Structure 1
Amino acid sequence: MSSQEASSRSAVVALARTSLSYAHAVIEEAEREHGDLRMAQAFGILLALHAADLGDALRELAGPEPLPGKKRLDNNPYTDPLDGRYGDMDAWRRTLSDDELREHCRYWNWSRENQVHPHGRWWCSKALSASQRELARRGLDPQSWRDGTESE
C-alpha cells in the first residue's frame, strides 16, 4: 500500500470514528430526553445509510466478522425475558418478576463481557445498569443477580 493510500485510509478511519462518536452522543441524548429509543433507532438507520461509503473503515473498526453460523453472542446461556419488546423499556422492566429481572441482568452482563466492540459493551452496560436500578427501586440488592441471593 502506498503512503498516499495509507494516508487516505487513515483519514477515512478517523472520519468513521468521529461519526460513530457523534452517533453515540445523539443516541444518548435521544434516550435521555425522550425515554424511548425510537428516535435513536431512526437516527441509527440514517447513520448507517450515510456511512455506507465508509464501509471498509467501519469494518476495520468493528474487527473481524464471526465465522458464519458461529456468532459469538448467540451462545448466551441466559434468556432475555424482554427479547423482542420495543418502546419504553423501563416500563417493560417494571412488569418483570424479581426472578425474571435477575435473569435479565445476567443476560446483559454475559452479553457485555462477551462483546468485541466497545459500542456493544457500552450498550449492554446501559441495559444492565437500568435493570440494576429497577432492582434497587424494588428495595432489592442491585447485585443480587450475581449469586441469586438478596441482601438482608
Structure 2
Amino acid sequence: MSTSTRNPTPILRALTVAACLSVSLAAPALAMSGGGGGSGAAPAEDSRHRSVTSADTYLPLPPLMATVQADHRARGNLQIEAGLEIQDARLRRRVEQIMPRLRNAYVTALSIYTGVNYRYGTVPDADRIAQLLQDATDMTLGTEGARVLIGMVIINAG
C-alpha cells in the first residue's frame, strides 16, 4: 500500500514544508526589522482569521502555540495555523461544542513535540506535527472523521 493511497495530498504536504522553510528562515529577519508602526499590526491580525475556503466542511482552528526550549530556557514559540475538514454535519457540531478539549489536546501534543521531537535551530517536521494533531483529534473525539489540515508552521525565535 502506497502512502499516496492513504494520504491523497502529497502536494499539500510539500507546499506546507516549503512554506515552513521560507517562513522559519525569514522570521529572524522580520523580527530584527523592527516592524512598521501601530497601523501595520491590525491588518495582519485580521488576515489570520479569514477563512481560507468557503466550504461548509472546513472548520478553522485558532492559532496553536507551544514554547520552544533549548539549554533549559525558552528560545521561542512554535505557532501552527490549521483547520479541520469534517464532512459529517453532526460531527462538526460536536467538534464545535468540545473545542476547548480539542485545543487542550493540541497544545499538549505540540508541547510534547517541542520538548521531545524538536531540536532548536532545525526546521519543524510538518508531517510529524500533522500526525500528532490528527492523533489528538481522533483520541479526543473517540472516532475518525475530522481531518487535520495544516496551513502554516512557524518558529518565532526569541
* TM-score normalised over the length of structure 1: 0.27
- Who wins on radius of gyration, i.e. which is larger? 1
Higher helix share: 1
Higher relative contact order (CA 8 A, sep 6+): 2
Higher strand share: 2
